[in-house]
Chain A
Amino acid sequence: MKQGRVLYESTLHHVTELDGKVQLKDGRLIEEHEVEWLPPVETETIFTLGLNYADHAKELSFTSPLPEPLVFLKGKNTITGHRGTTVRPEDVEFMHYECELAVVIGKSGKNIKKEEALDYVKGYTVANDYAFRDYLENYFRPNLRVKNRDGCTPVGPWFVSKEEIEDPMNLQLRTYVNGEKTQEGSTKDMILGIPELIEYLSSFMTLNDGDMILTGTPKGSVDTKVGDEVMTEVEGVGRLTNTIVSE
């Protein structure tokens, strides 16, 4: 079942998907553009993987394997919902999207073995983890000014329970800018797959219910301009739309 959180007629509703429409708990069917979309889950700690697709790492001129997985954290100020907007600051020359499969953790655990890792997964959603490359500096890179800006991480529209996704390590990722496909890849090309990521993170810290792991993006990141509509899609999970706006 696909689940979401929306505002409709000034009320917060927990909704499900039916025939491409939004169904309220009382049965009413609403068109998806008639509701205001909130992030489908309320998150606690948000992990993000950098350089987790070999082709994207190459695109960024990283040729040798990393000594450790590149993990960084995000604050809740970054999260916004489907059909939202993200600001492109005036002084930025290169702002690109990153289409990612987001994994939502369902129960607390430490030292989780990769063979059992999927037991700790509650489900999935789509994330678009924008980067503002002009602000990259080589201290705790990627620094928070690049990756922790308000509303720079749309997620949604739906949370999809893990039972609905047969193989999360074989899903197509695609990004369309104003309807034109600009990025395509597959989760099977992750350097560290979901079980390995959960094993790695939980080897040194406790993962909790509600934590979210953004698993990285494949190659194909291009600059986006004010007014662009960016649609990031993960096969079977959803299509997330966001519009770039000026300050």
Chain B
Amino acid sequence: MTRVNFKLQGFSQLKEGTLHDDFQKITIDEKQYNIDQLKFDNPITGTLYGTLLNYKGEYEQLKPEMNDKPYQKPPQAPVLYIKPINTLSTHQNPIPLPEGEEQVQVGAALGLVIGKTATKVKAEEAYEYIKGYTIVNDVSLPFSSYYRPAIKQKARDGFCPIGPWIINQNDIKDPHNLAIKVSINGEVKQENYTGNLIRPIPELVSEVTEFMTLYEGDVLLIGVPENQPLAKEGDQVSIEIEQVGRLNNRVVHEDNVFVSEVAVDEAR
């Protein structure tokens, strides 16, 4: 049993519940529901910051180029980016495939949900500032250069599904020992785990809050593992993070995102 906070569509405040049976069921106010019965909403209230090059494998892939132009030398400080509000989406909401694009990259990330104002936090106190964990799909159009901010690739509408819930921080004993698995149409396309970090969670939180404050409700992604799978129109994308949950979204042409899945099928 795991305690979770989540938001349901049509209800403005976060609710609390307990999860059981491998994320199949949830108890809310002593009543049990199947996960599929509930319509989840984005549980995040603040700014969402992503972290680049924090998985060892992703770092190693770029390392041979790091001393060349345009990079000149390896990064010294955490490299961050912002997923703006137009990108934020939720479990089961379609991922819009922009007109003219063939596919999107899936960015499977563990998100640290901040619980209180975090400024110049010491690494050994970092967990006191983390309220819990959630799953984030940092969707992007493919890009090859890390030199300039990838706004046009990463800041598209609906390119950041989050959820379904926030797992209480205390309920994850070791957040650096969680398997990450990305499946597309039920087939496993990527496997990694949260121990493969250049900067583990306490160091990341400490180095980031050294120069910028994270507020309650903000989310900091620990990074996205290398070899991101690609998904095309119609693909069902599932990100599973051990002990945290499963985040499912289907890629839909951008013209069809506002209408129900039934209507989309009929339109075909």
Indicate whether A and B interact: yes
Task: Assess whether A133 is interfacial by the CB under 8 Å rule.
Answer: no
Contact at B81–A73, with CB atoms within 8 Å? yes
Question: Among A10-18, A141-149, A160-168, A234-242, which stretch is in contact with chain B?
Answer: A141-149
In the bound assembly, the distance between CA atoms of A145 and B85 in angstroms comes to 21
Q: Who on chain B is nearest to A135 by CB?
A: B77
Distance of A150 from chain B, by nearest CB (Å): 5
Contacts of B82 in A (CB 8 A): 73-75, 144, 148
Majority-rule SS of A interface residues: loop
Contact at A206–B212, with CB atoms within 8 Å? no
In the bound assembly, the distance between CA atoms of A96 and B255 in angstroms comes to 44
Contact at A45–B84, with CB atoms within 8 Å? yes
**Contact code string A65-77 (vs B, CB < 8 Å = 1, else 0):** 0001011111111
Distance of A49 from chain B, by nearest CB (Å): 11
Contacts of A73 in B (CB 8 A): 81-82, 84, 149, 151, 155
Interface size on B, residues (CB 8 A): 37
In the bound assembly, the distance between CA atoms of A110 and B79 in angstroms comes to 29
Contact at B157–A205, with CB atoms within 8 Å? yes
Contacts A139-B71, A140-B52, A204-B152 given; does A145 touch B84 at CB 8 Å: no
In the bound assembly, the distance between CA atoms of A78 and B213 in angstroms comes to 9
Contacts of A172 in B (CB 8 A): none
Contacts of A148 in B (CB 8 A): 80, 82, 211-212
Q: Who on chain B is nearest to A74 by CB?
A: B82
Partner of A150, one of B53, B151, B213: B213
Task: Assess whether A137 is interfacial by the CB under 8 Å rule.
Answer: yes
In the bound assembly, the distance between CA atoms of A135 and B52 in angstroms comes to 16
Task: Assess whether B18 is interfacial by the CB under 8 Å rule.
Answer: no
Task: Assess whether A44 is interfacial by the CB under 8 Å rule.
Answer: yes
Contacts A72-B151, A75-B47, A205-B157 given; does A144 touch B213 at CB 8 Å: no
Contact at B151–A45, with CB atoms within 8 Å? no
In the bound assembly, the distance between CA atoms of A225 and B138 in angstroms comes to 39
Contacts of A204 in B (CB 8 A): 98, 152, 155-156
Contact at B148–A77, with CB atoms within 8 Å? no
Task: Assess whether B70 is interfacial by the CB under 8 Å rule.
Answer: yes
In the bound assembly, the distance between CA atoms of A148 and B72 in angstroms comes to 22
In the bound assembly, the distance between CA atoms of A135 and B71 in angstroms comes to 14
In the bound assembly, the distance between CA atoms of A32 and B76 in angstroms comes to 43
Distance of B49 from chain A, by nearest CB (Å): 7
Contact at B148–A205, with CB atoms within 8 Å? no
In the bound assembly, the distance between CA atoms of A78 and B214 in angstroms comes to 11
Task: Assess whether A186 is interfacial by the CB under 8 Å rule.
Answer: no
Contact at A140–B212, with CB atoms within 8 Å? no
Interface positions, chain B 126-147, Cβ under 8 Å from A, are 146-147
Distance of B196 from chain A, by nearest CB (Å): 19
**A and B contact pairs by CB, cutoff 8 A, 7 listed:** A45-B85, A72-B151, A77-B214, A139-B79, A144-B49, A145-B78, A150-B212
Chain B interface residues (CB < 8 Å from chain A): 47, 49, 52-53, 70-73, 75-82, 84-87, 98, 119, 146-152, 155-157, 211-215
